[in-house]
A and B are shown apart, each in its own frame.
Chain A
Amino acid sequence: MLSAILGLSLLALTLAALLVWVARRFPADSDPLVVEIETLLPQTQCAQCGYPGCRPYAEAIAQGHAEINRCPPGGTATIQALADLLGCEAKPLDESLGEEKPPLVAIIDEASCIGCKLCIQACPVDAILGAAKRMHTVIADECTGCELCIPPCPVDCIDLIPAPQVASLPNALKRAQRIQMQVRA
């Protein structure tokens, strides 16, 4: 009896020591799950999820603090990808945070801009260019369409327009898509 208890304890201790040594010897470089989650997020940095950016949201998901359905720009596709990665059920998008929209870019009505710099401070990806009392402009290629610049603007001179696509989907391909839907249904 005693020898059994001692033996098992010894075994547990040895294994624990081994585990500690392995953990010290081969440290995990960064939390890989966070990185994997982050690559699935659209990097809009819009903070609609309630976290200040995509990285914080990814961290929150990884720690189990956040649901996976809080990313309106990513929409259904992102939720599905996250569900696949984390092995959980895909949920419908939390509509209270925003709705899924086609990709947008901000555009500043340059005639009404007063050069207040508020939008520049709000932009999470530094895609607005301008100086105090000078007209501002949006670098369309770098804008993520996060809408964060809209509320601060005192003169409402920022609009969102559909982002330019690679190429519009050729008509003939719509047929193929229709077939695809039939196949999936």
Chain B
Amino acid sequence: MSDFNNDIGQQLHRFHGGLQLRHYKQISCTESPPFIAVPKQLVVPLQQHAGLIAEPCVEVGQRVLRGQRIASAQSGISAHLHAPSSGTVSAIEARWVHHELRCQAVIIDCDGLDEAVALTPLNGWTQSAPESVVSHLQAMGVVGLGGAVFPSAQKIHQSLHQEQNIHTVILNGAECEPYLSCDESLMLSRPEEVIRGAQILCHAAQAQQVIIAIEDRMTEVEKRLLQCIKTKNLSHIQVVQVPTYYPEGGERQLIQVLTGEEVPSGGYPQDLGLVCFNVATAQASFKAVEHGEPLIQRLVTVTGQSVQHPGNWWARLGTPVDDLLRAAGGLQQAVDRIVMGGPIMGRCLIDTQAPVVKASNCILALSNAEVHDPQGELPCINCGFCVRVCPARLLPQELHWAVRSQQLDRARDYGLMDCIECGCCDQVCPSHIALVEDYRLGKHQLRVQQQEQQRAQLAKQRYEARQERLQQHEAALAARRQVRKSPASKPLDAKARIAAALAKKRQQKAAQQATNTTPPTSSDEDRS
């Protein structure tokens, strides 16, 4: 494999399938997004990132300051959470994030002072080791802000500790879903911060170059980024315009467009020497490293036909969606659903009190007219439209039949686990079948099945090991009995043996009474 490919981005490639969607973006793209005021109460769910839920490290009634850590990452894939403003923790209870996720959340009653903890920037990061940048990003709770919310520090950490060196950092500024414009707005309003963030991520991943991929319609963004690169004289950062074609913003598709290579099935971009971040992640990394500010706010697009004045706003994490909708002029009566994320892959909100989380790139209020589907679901007619648009080159209709008939092995054989859930098949299906929902169900069932098989395998191994051990034990006992039966060894008097055992027992009891006052310090003893 070539170590360092200098032509990345020079020549663009195509990915299979995809869709040309109406993007509805101008309506909400403002140049300098305003800030939403800190609300009276913040709801900070503990599951805002991919991986394991964070564990709260504050107590109810405790006063917290802005930027103070309120929940810690578990070992494994997880991320820290910080208080978005100062106030008192009034409860830690389960809240709905979106209609598929309900988790524990730290509720903070804000005092309006917005008092901050002492910020700890990582001064002189250019001189520091990549590991220290990575651990700083971890401490600041930086996660991918494109939607997948994978902890950034762990992404870089993985790529630093693998055989394949990372040569290129790709910054993803191609929002492929319709309606979203928060990344464009961020690059327009804060190009320097994005570029600085790119430098930090490039240093942390020990890469040689950075490619910022933006959509070909973002000419103004390109101008500002290039100007910024030019004034700083950064030759290793280049800006590449990619066609606006859904799902261009998907990591794997973007890599295919830029390099012509495919990320191996079940692998990561790191296997190709690439690592991808969203532009908003770069900006958050800049804030974390140079200003010492943890990830406590993000840029959110508020749009949709039911919103009066669509636009982008900076919102503290935990701000109720209601506040954003009011900032956007409030909802019109015709609202059908409110979606967190884009219209193709977003999740529905249960109510407008749901909080802004790290993954909330967009709050989309869709009207009845936009959502209305007069046909409903009909049987699949095998039209093959889905085959034509699937960027993973799957056969979606085969997967659909396999999952609906619960032939999970067949579904896996047809590549169910390679589905990226982009929803292209759903968008072109003339029978209006909820294909992605089928796939998510099938994937879930496959994962459960796999876990069960692993558990069964483990239990079997342990059972067999125990059987073997018992047999050996039995054999040893039998051998000893054999020895005792032989005339050479004279059996002890039974009564004497009982007396000896009783004496030993009494001794032990006495010893235990003595130690009972001090509980055993170590509970895990070697069990082998």
Contact = CB atoms under 8 A, between A and B. Distances in A.
| A–B contact at 8 Å CB threshold (below) | yes
Contact of A144 (B404, B459, B465): B459
Most central of B444, B457, B465 by chain A CB within 10 Å: B444
A55 B447 CA distance: 25
A134 B508 CA distance: 13
Interface string B403-445: 0111000000000000000000000000000100110110010
Nearest to B458: A142
A169 interface: yes
A76 interface: no
B404 A172 contact: no
Contacts of B527: 126, 129
Nearest to B433: A179
B404 A183 contact: yes
A110 B440 CA distance: 40
Contact of A124 (B440, B466, B523): B466
Contacts of B16: none
A42 B441 contact: no
B100 A43 contact: no
Nearest to B438: A176
Contacts of B405: 183
A182 B286 CA distance: 52
Contacts of B524: 129, 137
B523 A134 contact: yes
Main secondary structure of the interface of B (DSSP, over half): helix
B236 interface: no
B520 interface: yes
Contacts of A183: 404-405
Interface residues of B, number: 36
B447 A176 contact: no
B462 A172 contact: no
A142 B434 CA distance: 38
Main secondary structure of the interface of A (DSSP, over half): loop
B459 A45 contact: yes
A5 B457 CA distance: 56
B451 interface: yes
A37 to B, nearest CB: 13
Interface string B486-528: 0000000000000000000000100010000000100111010
Contacts of A124: 463, 466
Interface in B437-477: 437-438, 440-441, 444, 447-448, 451-452, 455-460, 462-467
A134 B526 CA distance: 12
Contacts of A130: 523, 525
B525 A171 contact: no
B326 interface: no
A63 interface: no
A183 B377 CA distance: 12
Contact of B460 (A54, A170, A179): A54
B432 to A, nearest CB: 12
Interface string A16-57: 000000000000000000000010011111000000011100
A125 B520 contact: no
B459 A44 contact: yes
Interface in A138-185: 141-142, 144, 165-167, 169-173, 175-177, 179-180, 183
A172 B448 contact: no
B461 to A, nearest CB: 9
A170 B98 CA distance: 10
A23 B242 CA distance: 66
B217 interface: no
B14 interface: no
Given A110-B523, A125-B463, 4 more contacts: A43-B456, A45-B459, A169-B444, A176-B438
